[in-house]
Chains A and B, each alone.
Chain A
């Protein structure tokens, strides 16, 4: 007589291994095409779309810029941005999902002529939690924090601020009207990520926008020569 038993199968597979492989593929594709890519992350309403509208209007003539926007529902953001550029703005509607994943970005890029662009923005779903876990193949994450939010956002959402290389402190024109202490926010953010680089902007006034544009120009220019396409 023999007994039935339960067998154990060792798996040891990282749950996000597939996403990370896809993200690596996206990264390679963008590198080979000489496209600098930023994943814009923030809470809803921080001003991502308005910042991109201004950026497309100001830099669209000198740098080829494409945008992939992610929203849970509607393609309102894509429609808003498309008014400022001839280049394709590709909307991804996540139907409830709280983040973009690498497969969605890879699919969206199939519709973008990469040879015509030097800069790609992925405007992630507004959410400071989940997008931190998904690599999309970007060169860097830029976290946007507006002064109408709390200074302690970096402490509340440490993973996002730890993952980002750049932080944009946005809506600076509202600073006189809100009890927001810039030094505090910067201190909290650097507690989580000492290497985080800050930019200060307000999309409805010219304040700080030149620095932002300068930052983007230098990012596109600093791409290794062999991988860079002509600009200007």
Chain B
């Protein structure tokens, strides 16, 4: 039920780390005891990451043990050459 609040917070954290339009993937770890319904969180994130300021990033949710609930990493395509 509170997955939308969680998803909004995930997006806020992502926006602080990189220009939102360049984010292509948002990886989130969800513990089995975190009290979060993964399919619902995924649904909310898919929706939010399609809308500005994002430009079609995809969520990647990984289940982990314990009550962890964190943004683990972002993939960003910033047009920078690989070095």
Contacts and interface: CB of A to CB of B under 8 A. Distances in A.
A and B associate in one complex: yes
Contacts of B36: 133
B21 interface: no
A15 B75 contact: no
Contact of A15 (B1, B17, B71, B82): B71
A2 B81 CA distance: 6
A225 interface: no
Nearest to B9: A15
* Interface size grouping (class) on chain B: 20 to 34
Given A4-B82, A6-B24, A7-B76, A15 B6 contact: yes
Given A13-B70, A98-B2, A7 B10 contact: no
A99 B75 CA distance: 31
A218 interface: no
Contact of B82 (A3, A12, A14): A3
A199 B82 CA distance: 64
A5 B75 CA distance: 10
Given A15-B28, A99-B2, A6 B77 contact: yes
Contact of A132 (B14, B25, B35): B35
B75 A14 contact: no
B82 A5 contact: yes
Given A5-B77, A8-B76, 4 more contacts: A4-B82, A101-B5, A133-B34, A134-B2
Contacts of A12: 70-73
Given A15-B28, A16-B9, A159-B33, A10 B73 contact: yes
Contacts of A5: 77, 82
B64 interface: no
A5 B81 CA distance: 7
B35 A129 contact: yes
A44 B33 CA distance: 24
Contact of A9 (B10, B69, B70, B74): B74
A130 B72 contact: no
Interface in B11-53: 12-14, 17-18, 24-25, 28, 33-36
Contact of B13 (A2, A15, A134, A159): A15
Contacts of B77: 4-7
